[in-house]
């Protein structure tokens, strides 16, 4: 979830641009009859009755464009609107070689003193980890004027769930348009529209619970409750 969170925080401009380009290109190719329309939509609106060609190209291309935009964002740091140099402890400190890990740990203060911002990707166990609490305290000590930004992971998780629910809904809607409105399936198909959003609402409720836990942890924080996974730490 932390990787996904960083993708959303830094890659959304690139993702939106890729989504727009994909939609415009696919729509243009459809209007120029370059892309085939394998499905048919029986239109009956305000007296207009006709069999209209229907395709899935914009839906697929927009999904692929959005994903490509997020995954290529690290290669376009100028689109992030933020400095492209950062120190990520889990990636910058060796996790296997204990000697290199110890050297990295002893050098944390230097990185913290130079950082303009400390971004906390908060999850439920964060304030129970002594190392995380130590980094917060050390940053405030060596860099009193630095900015501490809490970025709960559930925010980007909510956006990801909404994105999946939207594409699932659009896929069901597109498939249902190919069904003859006279058949009994036409009346049942609308029930399937509820499924993606029902799952999304359930996920939103779980994420909202995490938000309440964040406030509760901040109000009742006790450093004695924090611990490390290894005795050396």
Average pLDDT taken over every residue of the chain: 77
Residue 53 lies in a domain: yes
Strand locations in the chain (E): 39-45, 48-54, 117-120, 147-150
Highest average pLDDT, of 59-68, 78-87, 136-145, comes from 59-68
Task: Let me know if residue 55 belongs to a domain.
Answer: yes
Question: Can you tell me the mean pLDDT for 131-151?
Answer: 83
Q: Measure the CA–CA gap between 117 and 106, rounded to whole angstroms.
A: 20
* Residue whose tokens read 């993606």: 196
> Is 228 part of a structural domain of the chain?
no
pLDDT for position 182: 46
Per-residue model confidence as pLDDT tens digits over 90-105: 777 777 777 887 787 7
Residue 158 is assigned to a structural domain of this protein: no
User: Considering its fold, how many domains does the chain have in total?
Assistant: 1
For the stretch 45-64, pLDDT in tens is 777 788 878 888 888 898 89
Q: Determine whether 109 is exposed, middle or buried from the number of CB atoms within 10 Å of its CB (0-12, 13-18, 19+).
A: middle
Domain containing 51 equals: 1-80
């Amino acid at each position: 979830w932390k990787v996904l969170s960083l993708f959303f925080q830094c890659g959304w401009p690139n993702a939106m641009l890729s989504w727009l380009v994909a939609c415009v290109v696919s729509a243009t190719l459809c209007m120029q009859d370059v892309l085939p329309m394998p499905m048919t939509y029986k239109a009956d609106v305000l007296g207009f009755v006709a069999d209209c060609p229907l395709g899935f190209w914009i839906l697929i291309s927009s999904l692929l464009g959005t994903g490509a935009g997020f995954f290529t964002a690290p290669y376009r740091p100028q689109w992030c609107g933020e400095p492209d140099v950062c120190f990520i402890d889990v990636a910058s400190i060796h996790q296997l070689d204990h000697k290199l890990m110890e050297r990295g740990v002893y050098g944390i203060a230097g990185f913290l003193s130079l950082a303009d911002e400390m971004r906390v990707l908060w999850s439920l166990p964060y304030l129970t980890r002594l190392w995380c609490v130590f980094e917060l305290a050390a940053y405030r000590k060596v860099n009193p004027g630095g900015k501490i930004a809490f970025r709960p992971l559930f925010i980007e998780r909510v956006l990801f769930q909404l994105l999946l629910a939207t594409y699932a809904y659009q896929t069901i809607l597109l498939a249902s348009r190919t069904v003859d409105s006279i058949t009994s399936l036409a009346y049942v198909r609308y029930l399937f529209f509820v499924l993606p959003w029902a799952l999304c609402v359930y996920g939103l409720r779980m994420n909202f619970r995490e938000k309440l836990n964040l406030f509760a942890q901040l109000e009742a924080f006790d450093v004695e409750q924090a611990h490390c996974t290894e005795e050396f730490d």
